[in-house]
Chain A
């Protein structure tokens, strides 16, 4: 069965303290791996899509990487406004817009 596991569940960082979030997955034929950010009371907001092992995407202080079994979201020198829940989702081949989401990592960046 297709499955997504994210770790850690929660992460507290000091402003400027870099770290990484992990997303491990099992899927029968990966179509794409997606990262989203969700703020309290809001819907998830798209960040990145990764399609093949070795691919990397960057946006401001965030960098997403993909291997055959997991993805990492690296946060470099985070700021308090980066505080949010980060969700990872996978889509299997042939599954029309059906995504399996992980339970998320709740990031809290303290000034």
Chain B
């Protein structure tokens, strides 16, 4: 069974640009979450989607947005990039539609903003 797939794995952008990251969840998983991981802040919750609806959102500015498609694949977008957006962006999928249940993470997209 294929795991969570994230693309691209690595990318370099400059300040002011925008970026789109993609995530394909495990087959059958309808919940997709996004996390930002940095050395200083650890893993921080960005948002979670279930059946194309955003159910929960973390404390990030509006420059961070996401969406989920009918096949459960998800994308997140960061506009007007800042140096502080450099991080590992992790996508996780979950089987359960209810609250609870473990997350299955992809290997992440490492974003560097110059």
A residues with CB within 8 A of B: 31-32, 34, 36, 41-46, 49, 87, 89, 91, 93-104
Contacts and interface: CB of A to CB of B under 8 A. Distances in A.
Interface of B: 4, 31, 33, 35, 42-45, 48, 50, 55-56, 58, 90, 92, 94, 99-108
B99 A94 contact: yes
A43 B107 contact: yes
A104 B88 CA distance: 15
A95 B100 CA distance: 9
A98 B75 CA distance: 18
B79 to A, nearest CB: 23
Where chain B touches its partner, the secondary structure class is strand
A42 B102 CA distance: 17
A102 B41 CA distance: 9
A96 B45 contact: no
Nearest to B31: A97
4 shortest A-B CB distances, which residue pairs? Answer: A43-B105, A101-B43, A103-B42, A96-B55
18 contacts: A31-B99, A31-B100, A34-B102, A43-B107, A46-B103, A49-B102, A87-B43, A95-B56, A96-B48, A96-B99, A97-B33, A97-B48, A97-B56, A97-B94, A97-B101, A100-B45, A101-B44, A103-B42
A98 B94 CA distance: 11
A12 B43 CA distance: 23
A91 B100 contact: yes
